[in-house]
Amino acid sequence: MLPPFPEGFVVGVSTSAYQIEGATTDDGREPSIWDTFAHTRGNTRNGDTGDIACDHYHRWPEDLDLLVELGVDAYRFSIAWPRQSNLDFYDRLVDGLLARGITPLPTLYHWDLPQALEDRGGWLNRETSERFAQYAANVGRRLGDRVHRWITLNEPVVHMAEGYAFGTHAPGRTLMLDALPVAHHLLLAHGLAAQTLPGEVMLTNNCTPVMPASDDEADHAAAAIYDGFHNRLFNDPVMLGTYPMDVPGVRDGDMDIIRTPMHALGINYYNPTRIAAADGPLPFRMVPIEGAETTAFGWPVVPEGLYDLLTGLKRTYAEALPPIYITENGCSSDEGTADKSRIDYLDAHLRAAHRALTDGVDLRGFFVWSLLDNFEWSDGYRQRFGLVGVDFATQVRTRNDSFRWLRDELTRRRDH
Ligand code: GCO
């Protein structure tokens, strides 16, 4: 049984539009960079795409009923920018959540940029930041009477690195360090949106505690550089108003916009990262964490890394650190419905979160990635992260043991 979390602590689950909705040409949705990327041969496992995914666009009432059965307080989903000309689906979704007593927590950008904007340079083009602010204001006008907390962006570091530096995600650019302007334009987009959205605003960063591979000075130096790119490049600007390195494209006033006060910071945590020095195109390389179990995806399982991350953020940013929500934590499992490894993973990470809370971190919530097995980007449908399994041939949902475990934990919490 989990330790008791404080009254008002929010427990939820997370998903994202391109990974679960399908219906990529329904009701005026325009193509996104992920439609282009996934339909380009060789970019995804087995040529998998989000064309159908979990067909959540049509099956959302059944999926929201699963949330009620699970007993979560809130549901983090994303709004597809490519659907900006017709937001009716999100109107129905938000009303459906509220009718079920579940708080909506929409992410405005979970990597599915309209292709038309990518054709004009995408996040390399400062204009995209302004287009995002207009989109955010449009969504705010439509849903702001019922949505009172927003996440602007999901994991800008992953989007910059995989989408623009390494080419492993959409839009598939391989700019390496020339991708840095993307960081600034994403953060500018966040700041501009934070100034227009009605209600509370968050940014969700993917963060990882970085450990040097050895005591060698070169490994320590490489770890510090990696920490700068992965964590500080997206945390320092929004909390301190500064970059940890030279970032091109910054104009007068930009940093004040980026530092527009956030009501909370979202943290996606999966694992720590062990870094060694390298002499290739980048001065660092990842090395395995010795002795750590791994998930079906090969990611190390290090729950204490979450405690270290949260207490480290508190030490680093002190008064500049707003309240924190864990907006993603979860694991891939190939065990089918008897997903004991996922129960063990979530139990251990929730306990680490509780320890951090007890030790003074202002932690307000924890969202499990994910409700459903879904499209895991370039890995397609092989990796299964769902509390609920999905048979993609039939769209039948099957509750895993982890679903029942979390449901029972939340029931116990409510009945206390
Ligand atoms: C991410 C994204 C999710 C992933 C999940 C598992 O963190 O990469 O937010 O879309 O699917 O994290 O990789």
Chain segment 353-363, per-residue pLDDT in tens: 999 999 999 99
Residue of the CA atom closest to atom 4 of ligand 1: 376
What is residue 257's predicted lDDT score, i.e. its pLDDT? Answer: 98
Range 329-334 average pLDDT: 98
What is residue 416's predicted lDDT score, i.e. its pLDDT? Answer: 81
Has 328 been annotated as catalytic? Answer: yes
- Would you say the CB of residue 409 lies under 6 angstroms from ligand 1? no
Q: Which two tokens stand for residue 93?
A: 């979704």
Cα(360)–Cα(367) distance, integer angstroms? 20
Over the stretch 41-94, which tens digit does the pLDDT of each residue have?
Answer: 999 999 999 999 999 999 999 999 999 999 999 999 999 999 999 999 999 999
Cα(354)–Cα(288) distance, integer angstroms? 27
3-state helix/strand/coil string of 227-279: HHHHHHHHHHHHHHCCCCCCCCCCCCCHHHHHCCCCCEEEEECCCCEEEEECC
Has 155 been annotated as catalytic? Answer: yes
Cα(341)–Cα(385) distance, integer angstroms? 11
Range 370-395 average pLDDT: 98
What is residue 82's predicted lDDT score, i.e. its pLDDT? Answer: 98
Residue 226, pLDDT above cutoff 90: yes
- Would you say the CB of residue 369 lies under 6 angstroms from ligand 1? yes
- Is the dihedral angle over the CA atoms 145, 147, 149, 153 positive or is it negative? negative
Q: Which two tokens stand for residue 315?
A: 């030490």
- Would you say the CB of residue 158 lies under 6 angstroms from ligand 1? yes
What is residue 65's predicted lDDT score, i.e. its pLDDT? Answer: 98
Res. 227 pLDDT band, cuts 50 70 90: very high
Residue type, 209: P
- Would you say the CB of residue 154 lies under 6 angstroms from ligand 1? yes
Residue 133, pLDDT above cutoff 90: yes
Name the active-site residue from 155, 162, 376, 409: 155
Cα(306)–Cα(349) distance, integer angstroms? 7
Mean pLDDT of the chain: 98
Q: How far is the CA of 251 from the centre of ligand 1 (A)?
A: 31
Over the stretch 97-108, which tens digit does the pLDDT of each residue have?
Answer: 999 999 999 999
What is residue 16's predicted lDDT score, i.e. its pLDDT? Answer: 99
What is residue 356's predicted lDDT score, i.e. its pLDDT? Answer: 98
Cα(387)–Cα(100) distance, integer angstroms? 19
Cα(107)–Cα(80) distance, integer angstroms? 9
Cα(35)–Cα(190) distance, integer angstroms? 24
**Cβ-proximal residues to 167 (8 Å cutoff; 6+ apart), any chain:** 173, 174
Cα(211)–Cα(274) distance, integer angstroms? 5
Domains by residue range for the chain, with CATH:
10-415 (3.20.20.80)
Q: Tell me the percentage of the chain whose pLDDT exceeds 90.
A: 99
Range 18-26 average pLDDT: 98
Q: How far is the CA of 253 from the centre of ligand 1 (A)?
A: 32
Instruction: Using CB atoms within 10 Å of the CB of residue 391, give its burial: 0 to 12 exposed, 13 to 18 middle, 19+ buried.
Output: exposed
Q: Are 268 and 155 in contact (CB under 8 A)?
A: yes
89-92 own/partner pairs: CB under 8 Å, 24+ apart: 89/27, 89/57, 89/60, 90/139, 90/142, 90/143, 91/142, 91/143, 92/60
Q: What is the CA radius of gyration of the chain?
A: 20
Q: How far is the CA of 174 from the centre of ligand 1 (A)?
A: 20
Name the active-site residue from 21, 162, 328, 376: 328
Residue 13, pLDDT above cutoff 90: yes
Q: Tell me the percentage of the chain whose pLDDT exceeds 70.
A: 100
Range 190-203 average pLDDT: 98
Range 235-258 average pLDDT: 98
Q: Are 190 and 253 in contact (CB under 8 A)?
A: no
